[in-house]
Structure 1
Amino acid sequence: MARPALTREEVLAAAADLVRQHGPQALTMRRLAAELGTAVTSIYWHVGNRESLLDALVERTVAELGEIRPVGRTPAGRIVSVARALRRRLRDHPHLVAMVHERGLTERMFLPAQQALVHEVHAAGLRGTRAADVVRAVQFQVVGHVLVERNRERAPAQHPGEEELWGARTAEEDPALARTLARAIDTEKLFTLSVKALVAGLLAGARDGESDSGSGPGPDSGDRTVSRAPYPQ
Structure 2
Amino acid sequence: MARGALSREEVLAAAAELVKRQGPGALTMRGLAAGLGTAVTSIYWHVGGREALLDALVERTVADLGEIRPRGRTPEQRVVSVARALRRQLRDHPHLVALVHERGLTDRMFLPAQQALVREAHAAGLRGGRAAEFVRAVQFQVVGHVLVERNRERAPAQHPGGEELWRAEAAGDDPALARALSRPPAADRLFMTSVRALVRGLLAGDGG
TM-score (norm 2): 0.96
Could you tell me whether the CA contact under 8 Å between 2:70 and 2:116 is conserved in 1? yes
**Structure 1 stretch displaced more, 190-199 or 159-168:** 159-168
SS at 1:169 equivalent: helix
AA of the residue aligned to 1:82: V
AA of the residue aligned to 1:44: Y
Give the alignment of 1:211-222 within 5 angstroms.
none
**Structure 1 stretch displaced more, 23-32 or 172-181:** 172-181
SS at 1:170 equivalent: helix
User: Could you list the runs of 5+ residues in structure 1 that have no partner in the other structure?
Assistant: 211-219, 221-233
* Highest RCO, 1 vs 2 (Cα 8 Å, sep ≥ 6): 1
AA of the residue aligned to 2:80: V
Measured against aligned partners, the alpha-carbon deviations of 1:158-188 in whole angstroms (never above 9, x if no partner) come to 1111122112211122111111111221101
In 2, Cα distance between equivalents of 1:42 and 1:2: 9
The number of residues matched between the two structures is 208
Partner residue in 1 for 2:120: 120
Over the matched positions of the two proteins, sequence identity in percent amounts to: 79
In 2, Cα distance between equivalents of 1:27 and 1:126: 44
Partner residue in 2 for 1:196: 196
Give the alignment of 1:12-51 within 5 angstroms.
12-51=12-51
User: Could you list the runs of 5+ residues in structure 2 that have no partner in the other structure?
Assistant: none
How many angstroms does 1:2 deviate by? 6.8
Could you tell me whether the CA contact under 8 Å between 1:76 and 1:124 is conserved in 2? no
Residue 105 (structure 1) aligned with residue 105 (structure 2): yes
Higher helix share: 2
AA of the residue aligned to 2:43: I
Residue 181 (structure 1) aligned with residue 175 (structure 2): no
TM-score (norm 1): 0.86
AA of the residue aligned to 2:40: V
**Structure 1 stretch displaced more, 185-194 or 159-168:** 159-168
How much is the aligned-residue C-alpha RMSD, in angstroms?
1.7
Partner residue in 1 for 2:149: 149
AA of the residue aligned to 2:91: R
Residue 137 (structure 1) aligned with residue 137 (structure 2): yes
